[in-house]
Amino acid sequence: MKPFTAFESAMAVLPADNVDTDQIIPARFLKTTTKEGLGLQLFHDWRYRDDGSPRTDFPLNQPAAQGAEVLVAGDNFGCGSSREHAPWALTDAGYRAVVSTSFADIFYGNSLKNALLPIKVSPEVHARILAAGSGARVKVDLEAQTLTLADGSSARFPVDAFPKRCMLLGVDELGYLLQFEGEIAAFEAAHPAPFDTRAAV
Amino acid sequence: MTARTLYDKIWDAHVVAQRPDEPVLLAVDLQLIHEVTSPQAFEGLRQRGLKVRRPDRTIATIDHSIPTTDRSRPIADPIAARQVAQLQTNCAEFGVPIFGPGSGHQGVVHVFSPEFGLTQPGMTLVCGDSHTATHGAFGVLAFGIGTSQVEMVLATQCLLQQPSRNFRVNVTGRLAPGVTAKDIILALIAKIGVGGGTGCVIEYAGEAIRSLSMEARMTISNMSIEAGARAGLIAPDETTFAYLKGRPFAPKGAAWDAAVARWRTWVSDPDAVFDKEVTLDGSALEPMITFGTNPAQGIAITGTVPEPRALAAGVERDSLVKALKYMGMRAGQAILGHPIDVVFVGSCTNGRIEDLRAAAGVLRGRKVDPRVRTLVVPGSEVVKRQAEAEGLDQVFLAAGAQWREPGCSMCLAMNGDMLQPGETCVATSNRNFEGRQGPGGRTLLASPVTAAASAIAGAVADPRSFA
């Protein structure tokens, strides 16, 4: 992973609550065995007609939303399945941050592990962002934990210290976990397994 | 010592290490693997030159993308075939045991593990699947995780976690006839919303929960994620122990007695404090069904579809309008009698033997409406064998339903079992999101008895009319 640096971008606004992972990336596209290329299928069934042409009334297909690196959506974004294909599809389509009033837990955790920053803002700030609409520019600064709107107003967002540090440094959590070999081995020695799953083969 | 919840106790017993201001390393007792969320994790291990640390605490099956039709033929979809083959290759290379089709145990990952006796009280369990919460029915702290975490657990048998909040749901009283565990959980989600459990682990308690079988408890815990919860828990009791006894991986002899004595300690202390509590009167519940496009959009089967104009203008009202349009529902209409095209009985929510018995109980001696395509998909090869031994397959076939091979099937429509655009399905699964069962498909979530009754009626029906 590359270090997550501050950036400025246009926003794409998707004004819907409870956007679930089946909308972000429908299950029938999960047969891939790699992480790449899922951006083409992002929001597939909202984005395309049956004949494959783009639906012009879908907010993210509108000209103002093109090239945006920040997605803004409604409450409880990413609810549903644990598929990490959801953040993979979003980053593959060029998004680096998602702004909402709340996120589903698993999606939130998955995003942080894939250089996709979930930005939680208050309903008041969210309303201002929605009013600004697709195409309006914002600045995202993870180090300072701020989202700055085009009018210069700035909102601070929460992020735990640990994933923040991992994202800023561009290191993943597995590398961190591997440092604990001694502690893990000691725990395992004190807690024998109740069974061996290989015994039944 | 301070009083602790069941969640606190399992958590405390699994803390491997923690540095200040950093997440806890939580030991994982068992990881379940399936074909969809694991290929990138195994590839990650390969790229880093890592092994599976504890193959003895890892087990795989194939469920999401395999067809539920004739298993003697190769998988027709080349991409699904490649994914299944990749899992078999990965398991062979990394020494992970796998139970594929024909092994006698293949099945939906959350059906397969409990019936094997692998899911045991007080454990931590993970799987790259959000319905891992199912295992919480045994007093197991079970998390659905992403593929990065699948890789981390394969490599270290640990998960980095921040603690969740404790949320207790008390379901009082006894369920009325025709009302099931599915109705409890749909009623709860309708009450607290799809984000109602976010950041929390829900412990289900109360007389109504205690009186349920393990299969029924799994139905409830399974859908914890539909309320946004990290996990669900039900403290183990005699029902739990009776279910586990004699299963292949359950302890035997003296080890069994010792295990049961240990398992009895996995309960919340009487004076434990919960961050949040909700009470549901189980005796007042009716059969539930969803009308919209998220699991919280549920009503009693005798109810009417809500009016958007009763809500204040805003995103919530817009969402309801959009859901009703997608579902082809009118505000204010009765849900009873709403025409349907398909019925799906199966999934990790309701694909266990008791669910099939319940559906067969309604269908026995009756016929499904010939316009309704009815799929009955057992949760596993074990469930299939048991059902056939009891003659349930013959009941389904005689009623005009299809009797299929085990898998996730039409719950998420990855394997070719899917709705056509505009079709309406009463499904015993867990999600009614737009297109979940196929693009343009419309899903009404309900219990197996409601699904069976609706198959007969050719429209949404009250199972109490078919008692």
Q: What is the ipTM of this complex?
A: 0.96
Check residues B71 and B116 and name the one with the higher pLDDT.
B116
Which of A32, A177, A195 lies closest to B25 in CB terms?
A: A177
Contact list, A17 vs chain B (CB under 8 Å): 315-316, 319
Which of A102, A173, A199 lies closest to B160 in CB terms?
A: A173
pLDDT for residue B314 is more than 90: no
- Percent pLDDT > 90 in chain B is 96
State whether residue A141 is helix, strand or coil: strand
Contact list, A192 vs chain B (CB under 8 Å): none
Query: Mean pLDDT score of chain A, rounded to an integer?
Result: 96
When scoring B230, B347, B412, B437 by the number of chain A Cβ atoms within 10 A, the one with the most, hence best to mutate, is B412
Q: Taking CB atoms and an 8 Å limit, are A84 and B194 in contact across chains?
A: no
Rg of chain B's alpha carbons, rounded to an integer? Answer: 21
Q: Taking CB atoms and an 8 Å limit, are A22 and B412 in contact across chains?
A: yes
For the record, the structure tokens of B219 come out as 């139905």
d(CA A66, nearest CA chain B) in Å: 23
Q: Taking CB atoms and an 8 Å limit, are A84 and B146 in contact across chains?
A: yes
Per-residue pLDDT at A201: 54
Does B160 contact chain A (CB < 8 Å)?
A: yes
Which of A105, A196, A198 lies closest to B228 in CB terms?
A: A105
B427: closest CA among B369, B373, B354? B373
Kindly identify which residue of chain A lies nearest to residue B441, measuring between CA atoms.
A45
- Mean pLDDT computed over B153-179: 97
Per-residue pLDDT at B313: 85
pLDDT for residue A173 is more than 80: yes
Q: What domains can you pick out in chain A, each with its CATH number?
A: 7-172 (3.20.19.10)
Contact list, B160 vs chain A (CB under 8 Å): 162, 173, 176-177
Contact B290, B194 (CB under 8 A): no
When scoring B433, B434, B443, B445 by the number of chain A Cβ atoms within 10 A, the one with the most, hence best to mutate, is B433
Does B46 contact chain A (CB < 8 Å)?
A: no
- Mean pLDDT computed over B284-304: 98
Residue B98: CA count within 13 A, CB half-sphere: 22
Per residue in A74-88, pLDDT (tens digit) is: 999 999 999 999 999
Q: Taking CB atoms and an 8 Å limit, are B79 and A176 in contact across chains?
A: no
Q: What domains can you pick out in chain B, each with its CATH number?
A: 1-285 (3.30.499.10), 289-466 (3.30.499.10)
Per-residue pLDDT at B72: 87
When scoring B160, B290, B293, B437 by the number of chain A Cβ atoms within 10 A, the one with the most, hence best to mutate, is B160
Contact A139, A147 (CB under 8 A): yes
Q: DSSP for A31-65? A: T-SSSTTGGGGTTHHHHB-TTSPBPTTSGGGSGGG
Residues 6 or more apart whose Cβ sits within 8 Å of residue B394: none
Per-residue pLDDT at B124: 98
Per-residue pLDDT at B129: 97
- Mean pLDDT computed over A40-44: 97
Q: Are strands A7-14 and A137-141 parallel, antiparallel or unpaired?
A: antiparallel
pLDDT for residue A64 is more than 70: yes
